[in-house]
């Protein structure tokens, strides 16, 4: 028997997915992992709007933004 949990938008999530999401909430990313995630997010969103976007564009834009000291 499979049990499903109804999520925020009314979608059904399996117990396994619910367990994995709970585990993901406790993951602590390193600053390097966060930066890689940030650039990946920027690339994915920019690429939807412009198929000519490259990783080089994203890296150049990210490198030009001053970062807060940690």
pLDDT tens by residue, 44-69 = 999 999 999 999 999 999 999 987 76
Q: Is residue 57 part of a domain?
A: yes
- Give how many domains the chain has, as a whole number: 1
Q: How confident is the model at residue 1 (pLDDT cuts 50, 70, 90)?
A: low
**String of DSSP letters for 14-65:** EHHHHHHHHHHTT----HHHHHHHHHHHHHHHHHHH-TT--HHHHHHHHHHS
Q: Is residue 43 part of a domain?
A: yes
Range of the domain at 58: 31-64
Mean pLDDT computed over 5-34:
82
Q: Is residue 55 part of a domain?
A: yes
Q: How confident is the model at residue 39 (pLDDT cuts 50, 70, 90)?
A: very high
Q: Is residue 10 part of a domain?
A: no
Q: Is residue 9 part of a domain?
A: no
Residue 11 has a pLDDT of 67
Residue 34 has a pLDDT of 94
């Amino acid at each position: 028997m499979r049990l499903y949990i109804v999520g925020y938008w009314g979608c059904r999530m399996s117990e396994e997915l619910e367990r994995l999401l709970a585990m993901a909430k406790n993951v602590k990313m390193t600053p390097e992992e966060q930066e890689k995630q940030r650039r990946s997010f920027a690339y994915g969103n920019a690429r939807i709007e412009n198929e000519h976007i490259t990783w080089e564009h994203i890296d150049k834009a990210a490198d030009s933004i001053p970062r807060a000291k940690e």
